[in-house]
């Protein structure tokens, strides 16, 4: 449905917000993103990081906004009066009803294709790992020779040479000449870098030229130069343009210097600094040597006081030997006398404690006789005691009682009977006699049966 049909069918009044929204939708749907060229004016860089400006030409202008995340991706900073080409979405800012462009890409006017080529090659080489930090090499601290790839007529060569002569004039410099601008310059630079790597005459190589426009520096953005620098066996330093200039050569080199002069400072030691270090080292060695000589002199004096004449030392040793010999004789004699005295003392004690064998034998015989007599008396007493016990046992033996005519009355279960009251009338009992047993029956007198105990 077109806007005309919409208004014909809807005669109600709409709000400004609705109108602006409809206008925005129509603009965004009807105009695709396009490249637009013009001059930047009224540039404002907000604290939020967004950029607000107008893009104008000789007959008109349009409001533009570039948000922070897009602005941060630009290889340059937009400036007032800069001729640029930008691509963005044509839209309407509803709150103020302002026609504007939301910028997504920007490039310097006339250089769009160069920037695009730059970014494509940069992405390609980065994907291959030519920019990786791991492949970067350390620069030699004290190079024996320094190589320079640049034009013999370039002002950058004079800056590099003067800096190296000032910092360390004794280092040889070898120039590998190459055209650094114009047609065929990229191949010359690549050939010069390969020549330096093949000759291996230097320890570090500077690839440099002075500042200029992007077209002037474009030779150092060519793939042939980047691959030659990356393949060079010598550590390389790229010093192309000014501090704000970046080239592909900067990314593949082992070190980037913001200027050719800075590149010369990176590869060369500072003579004044080395001289100062040498002077400090000399003073430290001088102090150490002075302390060493003082210590050795004191040690020599101490040893000199201890040093004596060999004859005097021999006499001292002889006196000491005589004293030791006399002491040894005295100690041997003393030990001998002490041993002899101990032997006499032991002999005396042995004689005093020598046993009387005859007396001991006699005493032993007497003790033996007493022991035999005591044994006989004991045996006699034990025999008498045994006889008495035997007579007592015989007297108490029940068999002996039965032999005198007595009998033992037992019930059928073998229990001895102690009282007639324990027996029933006509009860069978056993009479145990001295020479055997007989059965008997109980007959109570007058037929009376005693009461049984309960």
Of the candidates 268, 283, 318, which is a domain's last residue? 268
Does one domain contain both 217 and 289?
no
Return the sign of the alpha-carbon dihedral for residues 184, 187, 192, 195: negative
Which CATH number does the domain housing residue 19 bear?
Answer: 2.40.50.140
216: in domain: yes
95: in domain: yes
Which of 206, 198, 195, 193 minimizes the C-alpha distance to 254? 206
Does one domain contain both 72 and 144?
no
Does one domain contain both 150 and 101?
no
Do residues 38 and 63 make contact, with C-beta atoms less than 8 angstroms apart?
no
Convert 24-58 to b/e letters by CB count within 10 Å (16 or more is b): beeeeeeeebeebebbbeeeeeeeeeebebbbeee
Does one domain contain both 190 and 73?
no
361: in domain: no
pLDDT of residue 454: 41
32: in domain: yes
Of the candidates 228, 251, 268, which is a domain's last residue? 268
Ranges of the chain with pLDDT below 70: 1-11, 110-113, 354-356, 445-454
pLDDT of residue 6: 53
Total domain count for the chain? 4
User: Concatenated DSSP letters for 315-341?
Assistant: HHHHHHHHHHHHHHHHHHHHHHHHHHH
- Stated length of the chain: 454
357: in domain: no
Does one domain contain both 85 and 150?
no
Does one domain contain both 203 and 281?
no
Does one domain contain both 234 and 167?
yes
Does one domain contain both 248 and 284?
no
Does one domain contain both 172 and 97?
no
Of the candidates 253, 282, 299, which is a domain's last residue? 299
Does one domain contain both 7 and 99?
yes
Residues 6+ positions from 20 with CB-CB distance below 8 Å: 92, 94, 97
Does one domain contain both 171 and 280?
no
The residue range of the domain holding 291 is: 272-299
Does one domain contain both 9 and 98?
yes
Distance CA 27, CA 338 (A): 135
343: in domain: no
Structure-token pair, residue 234:
């010598």
Q: What is the pLDDT of residues 161-192, one digit of tens each?
A: 999 999 988 899 999 999 998 889 999 999 99
- Would you say the pTM of this structure is higher than 0.75? no
């Amino acid at each position: 449905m077109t806007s005309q049909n919409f208004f014909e069918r809807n005669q109600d009044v709409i709000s400004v917000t609705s109108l602006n929204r409809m206008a925005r939708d129509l603009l965004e749907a009807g105009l695709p993103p396009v490249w637009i060229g013009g001059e930047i004016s009224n540039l404002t860089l907000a604290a939020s990081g967004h950029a607000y400006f107008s893009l104008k030409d000789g007959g008109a202008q349009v409001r533009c906004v570039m948000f922070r995340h897009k602005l941060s991706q630009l290889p340059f900073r937009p400036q007032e009066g800069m001729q640029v080409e930008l691509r963005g979405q044509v839209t309407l800012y509803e709150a103020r009803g302002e026609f504007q462009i939301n910028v997504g890409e920007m490039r310097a006017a006339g250089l769009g294709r160069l920037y695009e080529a730059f970014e494509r090659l940069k992405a390609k080489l980065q994907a291959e790992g030519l920019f990786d930090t791991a492949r970067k090499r350390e620069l030699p601290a004290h190079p024996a020779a320094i190589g320079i790839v640049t034009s013999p007529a370039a002002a950058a060569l004079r800056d590099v040479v003067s800096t190296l002569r000032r910092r360390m004039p004794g280092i040889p410099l070898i120039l590998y000449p190459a055209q650094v601008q114009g047609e065929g310059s990229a191949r010359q630079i690549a050939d010069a870098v390969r020549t330096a790597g093949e000759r291996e005459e230097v320890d570090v190589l500077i690839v440099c030229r002075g500042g200029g426009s992007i077209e002037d520096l474009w030779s150092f953005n060519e793939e042939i130069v980047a691959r030659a620098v990356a393949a060079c066996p010598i550590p390389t330093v790229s010093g192309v343009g000014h501090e704000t200039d970046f080239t592909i050569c900067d990314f593949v080199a082992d070190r980037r210097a913001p200027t050719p002069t800075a590149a010369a400072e990176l590869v060369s030691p500072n003579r004044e600094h080395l001289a100062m270090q040498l002077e400090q080292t000399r003073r430290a060695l001088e102090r150490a040597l002075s302390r060493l000589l003082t210590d050795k002199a004191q040690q020599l004096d101490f040893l000199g006081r201890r040093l004596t004449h060999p004859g005097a030392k021999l006499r001292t040793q002889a006196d000491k030997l005589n004293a030791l010999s006399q002491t040894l004789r005295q100690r041997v004699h003393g030990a001998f006398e002490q041993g002899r005295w101990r032997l006499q003392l032991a002999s005396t004690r042995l004689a005093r404690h020598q046993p009387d064998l005859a007396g001991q034998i006699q005493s032993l015989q007497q003790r033996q006789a007493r022991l035999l007599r005591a044994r006989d008396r004991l045996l006699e007493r034990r025999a008498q005691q045994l006889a008495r016990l035997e007579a007592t046992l015989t007297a108490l033996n029940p068999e002996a009682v039965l032999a005198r005519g007595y009998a033992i009355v037992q019930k059928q279960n073998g229990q001895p009977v102690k009282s007639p009251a324990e027996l029933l009338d006509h009860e069978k009992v056993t009479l145990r006699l001295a020479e055997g047993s007989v059965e008997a029956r109980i007959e109570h007198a007058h037929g009376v049966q005693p009461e049984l105990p309960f």
